[in-house]
Structure 1
């Protein structure tokens, strides 16, 4: 039987946290994330961006609170982009601990992901974070280790993007049995 809520553990240089995926509600996005996990593409990557209201670009009218990591957009080793499974389709929403896929344009998600710190409805379909109003693809949530995620968030610097030496390394990502 197919596990419709697989769990993935991410071991980082600041500790481990686990995410439960909603493969039943966001099957394309969950399968994409698992393809990155299973191929080892997250091993050795990092949390490279931590956004809070203090370090966010002043011209951005929508204040967010996230940790953002995985593969870099448009990296040569990334898998093909996937279609957007919006929260309108899935019925999921961006709440505290939600795992979501990064994107620029609709249907442009690759291997970068983010975790919400606090409820973030502006990431949902119709929200103000993306000018196209399509939102982002929520596809899971932190099920263990939220204190580690919050500690990573607390390590934010003066800029959204961390200096290479300050990035939080993802040592290993794997499915749990």
Structure 2
């Protein structure tokens, strides 16, 4: 049976950094389709929901710490709708790719995953690098453009084109995912 892992990347963001303003503007419109897609993933037995989030250099930070920091940050309204449910996997990361320095590859293998559905932020950084790492590990890739946020719109669009062309990613709106 085919299995999909929906990976939500870096959405627990306190929005206290140099690129926060353009990212905030890009995140706002992706929240409704992303929250709806998370709900759809949770309702399916063949989809595993996995959150992977930057630990911002705090290697003692727990899932609860990262959630609390994000909710206590500059834009809790951009965090509250997509807080990770207690029953889903949560992996802290330290660099751009959701695979780098995390047990994601091992987890996907244990789950029998064949497709990685990437959502979150930042399209031209963490989503792109995670897609490349998924591709070189022979996973099929899906990226709903209405569920990823870019700091620089032009670079985000270029990253989506690269994922589609160079990594055979299926770039389709959230309504076309998990149908």
| TM-score bin (small chain) | under 0.3
Larger fraction in helix: 2
For CA contacts below 8 A with separation 6 or more, give which structure has more relative contact order.
1
Q: TM-score, normalised by structure 1?
A: 0.28
